[in-house]
């Protein structure tokens, strides 16, 4: 009886927790279809006007394109640098390996406000504020840990004899890497790439320092849309972003599931 009571209590608490976690995310979607210039929930009249505004307003479009460009470039550089680092840290013999590993996760530890302040000061010196290059350089540093951590996890369970087998059968090191190693660690690389992309795409704090009238990213414009003057377009952008992230992660999850099924079948 008391066990049942405990379970009941646990379930109630979990439902409440779940509501707190999910509700804010869900509230924003209906609000984005409101016809009112004031944010209201539930909306009295419905329309697509904030979506139309997002797609037609030049400043929203410009910041979206900037963010997209930066995030794609960041993903490429972070995946290359981060994957190389994972190989080095997992397979290499390296003096001060602990120090290098610590350095790689430093961007996760240092509060973003401090990172922002530091890189803003540096970017001012070399004239990289409000430039795509400046954003890409800084966001890459923030995204790299996710790539390295994910690829290192894939590599740790990787059986290196597979590579030896491929090479003993005559494959060149490059062929071995492309045909044996890469397909096996691909899930780790993909997860790392997705995290690197999202890190850049979502980043507000550091970007606030680097932004200006010359170049503003989407999250920074959203920030001014909720802080300076409330612009209901933010609800439309938020809903689109939600849809985008949830789709991306769901796709990653489904890809993993299919792959595991296939692997399980091939081992039968």
Partner 1 sequence: MSSSATTAPDRRAPSRGAEPDPRPAPPGAGSPAPPGKRRRFFLTDGWGALALPIAGYLLVVLIVPLAIVFARSFTDPTLGLGNYAAFFASPIYTDVLVNTFVTAITVTLITLLIGFPYAYLMTIAPPVWRSVLLVVVLVPFWTSLLVRSFALVLLLRDTGAINETLLSLGLISDPITMVRNFTGVLIGMVQVMLPFMVLPLYATMRGIDRRLLQAAEGLGARPAFAFWRVFVPLSAAGVAAGSLLVFIQSLGFYITPALLGGPDDVMLGELIVQQVSTVLNWGFASALAAVLLIVTLVLLAIASRFIDVRRIFWKEQ
Contact region with partner 1 (CB under 8 A), list: 53-61, 62-70, 245-253, 259-267: 245-253
Cβ distance to partner 1 smaller for residue 113 or 266: 113
# residues contacting partner 1 (CB under 8 A): 93
According to CB under 8 A, which one of 8, 47, 48, 91 is a site residue for partner 1? 91
* Closest distance of CB 130 from partner 1, Å: 14
| Residues 31-60 within binding reach of partner 1 (CB under 8 A) | 31, 39-42
> Which x/- pattern, by CB under 8 A, does the window 119-158 give for partner 1?
xxxx--------------xx-xx--xxx-xxx-xx-----
Cβ neighbours of residue 25 closer than 8 Å, sequence gap 6 or more: 242
Contacts for 230-234 with beta carbons within 8 Å, 24 or more apart?
230/39, 232/31, 232/32, 232/34, 232/36, 232/37, 232/38, 232/39, 232/50, 233/50, 233/53, 233/54, 233/57, 233/60
CA distance 139 to 133: 10
Q: Does 184 bind partner 1 (CB under 8 A)?
A: no
According to CB under 8 A, which one of 65, 72, 108, 251 is a site residue for partner 1? 108
Cβ distance to partner 1 smaller for residue 189 or 208: 208
Q: Does 257 bind partner 1 (CB under 8 A)?
A: no
CA distance 27 to 42: 9
Q: Is the peptide bond before 44 cis (omega within 30 degrees of 0)?
A: no
């Amino acid at each position: 009886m008391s066990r049942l009571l405990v379970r009941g209590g646990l379930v109630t608490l979990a439902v409440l927790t779940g509501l707190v976690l999910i509700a804010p995310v869900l509230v924003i979607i209906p609000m984005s279809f409101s016809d009112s210039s004031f944010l209201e929930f539930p909306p009295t009249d419905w329309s697509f006007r904030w979506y139309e505004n997002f797609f037609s307003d030049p400043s929203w479009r410009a910041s979206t394109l900037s963010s997209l460009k930066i995030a794609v470039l960041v993903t490429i550089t972070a995946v290359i640098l981060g994957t190389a680092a994972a190989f080095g840290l997992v397979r290499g013999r390296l003096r001060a390996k602990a120090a290098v590993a610590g350095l790689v996760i430093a961007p996760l530890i240092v509060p973003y406000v401090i990172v922002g302040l530091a890189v803003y000061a540096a970017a001012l010196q070399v004239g990289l504020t409000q430039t795509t290059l400046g954003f890409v350089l800084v966001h890459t540093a923030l995204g790299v840990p996710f790539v390295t951590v994910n690829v290192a996890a894939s590599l740790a369970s990787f059986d290196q004899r597979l590579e030896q087998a491929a090479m003993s059968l005559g494959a060149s090191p490059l062929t071995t890497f492309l045909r044996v190693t890469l397909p096996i660690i691909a899930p780790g690389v993909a997860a790392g790439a997705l995290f690197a992309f999202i890190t850049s795409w979502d980043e507000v704090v550091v970007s606030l320092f680097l932004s200006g009238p010359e170049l503003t990213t989407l999250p920074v414009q959203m920030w001014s849309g909720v802080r300076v003057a409330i612009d209901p377009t933010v609800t439309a952008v938020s809903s689109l972003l939600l849809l985008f992230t949830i789709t991306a992660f769901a796709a990653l999850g489904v890809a993993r599931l299919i792959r595991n099924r296939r692997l399980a079948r091939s081992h039968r």
